[in-house]
Amino acid sequence: MTRAWIHLLVLCIALCLDACTTTSTGRRSSGGTGAAALELALADAEKASTGGLATREARHDYNEAVERAVALWFERSDEKNRSSSMLAGNSYRLQPSWPANLRFDELVPARVIKSKRLRSRVVREGVGVPLVAHWSYSAERKGAEPFMTEGGYFSSVTATIEFRRSGKGPRVASLVLHDSRGLEKVTLAGRRQPLAADLSAYGELLLSHKEIQMGGIKALLRSSDYMSKLGLIALERPSAERIPVVFVHGLMSRPATWENVINELSSDIVLQKHYQVYTFRYPSGVPIVYSAAKLRENLASLHKILEQQGTGRLCHHMVLIGHSMGGLVSKGQVQDSGDRLWVSLLGGTPDKLGLTRSEYDALRGYMEFDPNPSVSRVIFAATPHRGSYLADSTLAHIGRRLVKLPGETFGNAFDILEGIAKRDPKLGELFARGMPTSVDNLSPESPYVKVATSLPFRRGVQLHSIIGNKDGRSLTDPECSDGFVPYSSSHLEGVRSELVVRSDHSVHERPEAIEEMRRILRQHLTGLDLN
């Protein structure tokens, strides 16, 4: 073999070896899953950051290397030692950290989560790798985290790695999982850099978990089958550092009705920083007084948990946003019942009804309540304060007969009501068809609707209305309506603001309505000196 052929062979071998250490994009692969691969990923990240990450190409190379390093770190650690430092060859010591309230079993790169349910993707360009931190559900965790969804908790985070020397030993690679919602910039390589974020990925991942879902119509017609899903649910661990904003769905609906509202509000960095989202999920066939009582119980539990965290101030300023019947459920949190529900719904005060102490105690939570001092603002969207005549239609009467509310749904309270009905002919006539459902409650002639309009609000609570006007009629026109609720029913005197939108009953999803919610939530922060 001639010397020329030898040189050519050596060159070919060298090219082949080089090809084996590069990916299809021309960057070196991790070369495995061990310490050497992690060392290589960290070296690539540090090399990309040496120029200050001033160019798009440098940020791209840095982000890719960080994503590889995060995956390798996660593979080489477990839940017990994940926060401990880790040697990566002879060159680096990886030191991970994240917010104290964050828990996770997996870190899912946002880029692999497809857009399927949400109508827009809220992203920010910058340095770092957007991830979804997922802490999965278990019965044991649910016991300690009462507001956890069946899919677990989901949080938006962004990973960065900063490098520094530490004596003569390996360089320290500080891997930080940032809460990317309230943080726009970080310092890397000596410069302030915009922090990358994907604030929609966690919602898409959450919505992909079918066990979280609840059918709206099915939960109306077979409410007793869905009682296990009733309750306040959090998308992440409750934090006293944020104000709770609770979204409440309406009749034949479910929390998913808010998916685009929550997603699009997330584009506001100020709202992301100061608010934490909760939804109240309930089968919508049950009477409104029942749903309102359960929300009251859940809000009290949330308030107690947040106060135990030690800071407490923000949990006194909760915001409720209710759509349609959800507005009535929300309204019941800020009104003073006195004895009016007893009189209007059951025909007399407890003493005149001849209730025993145990009967009174069983019914009191539904019939008698004080306004919640921790709810300081409520936004009503398409709320039928005075009912809807569609609830009296033939179709509604057919639907009402299909709604199944067996006694066990309400436990002892149902038996007590039946006992009172047997003693009181007038009440017996009212309950002859069975327990009144939410459809009954929405009739303008419903005793519940009539009394709910007369209950006083807590002094100082701020109220807002968003109302649909389907055909753009004059507000004084009796036919002005969103197609389900007339303006005359949605309109509420004494509110802080009222916005009328050219829309059907789904007004809460309209861009104008979402912008109004954003404005009101910002206004709420201004009143607390947090804006």
pLDDT above 70 for 339: yes
What is residue 216's predicted lDDT score, i.e. its pLDDT? 66
Same domain flag for 302 and 326: yes
What is residue 491's predicted lDDT score, i.e. its pLDDT? 97
- Could you tell me what percent of the chain has a pLDDT over 90? 64
pLDDT above 50 for 31: no
Residue 163 domain flag: yes
Residue 14 domain flag: no
Same domain flag for 220 and 365: yes
Same domain flag for 370 and 319: yes
First to last CA, the chain: 78
Same domain flag for 340 and 469: yes
Residue 4 domain flag: no
Same domain flag for 249 and 114: no
SS3 per residue for 192-231 = EEEECEECCHHHHHHHCCHHHCCCHHHHHHCHHHHHHHCE
Same domain flag for 387 and 282: yes
Same domain flag for 223 and 339: yes
Q: Which two tokens stand for residue 407?
A: 């006694």
Same domain flag for 112 and 241: no
Residue 164 domain flag: yes
Same domain flag for 228 and 115: no
Burial class (CB in 10 A: 0-12, 13-18, 19+), 5: exposed
**Which pTM was predicted?**
0.87
What is residue 408's predicted lDDT score, i.e. its pLDDT? 47
Residue 71 domain flag: yes
Same domain flag for 376 and 523: yes
CATH code for position 418 = 3.40.50.1820
Supply the range of the domain harboring residue 494.
213-527
What is residue 185's predicted lDDT score, i.e. its pLDDT? 95
Same domain flag for 118 and 165: yes
Residue 322 domain flag: yes
Q: Which two tokens stand for residue 71?
A: 């995956």
Domain termination residue (choose one: 202, 235, 267) = 202
19-28, 250-259, 484-493: which has the minimum mean pLDDT?
19-28
Residue 10 domain flag: no
Same domain flag for 173 and 221: no
Per-chain mean pLDDT for the chain: 85
Q: What is the per-residue pLDDT across 53-106, written as a single tens digit (0 to 9) for each?
A: 989 999 999 999 999 999 999 999 988 899 999 999 999 999 999 999 999 999
What whole-number distance in Å separates Cα of residue 428 and Cα of residue 351? 18
What is residue 422's predicted lDDT score, i.e. its pLDDT? 65
What is residue 431's predicted lDDT score, i.e. its pLDDT? 56
**Interstrand relation of 123-124 and 197-198 (parallel, antiparallel or unpaired):** antiparallel
pLDDT above 90 for 187: yes
Q: Provide the domain count of the chain.
A: 2
pLDDT above 80 for 437: no
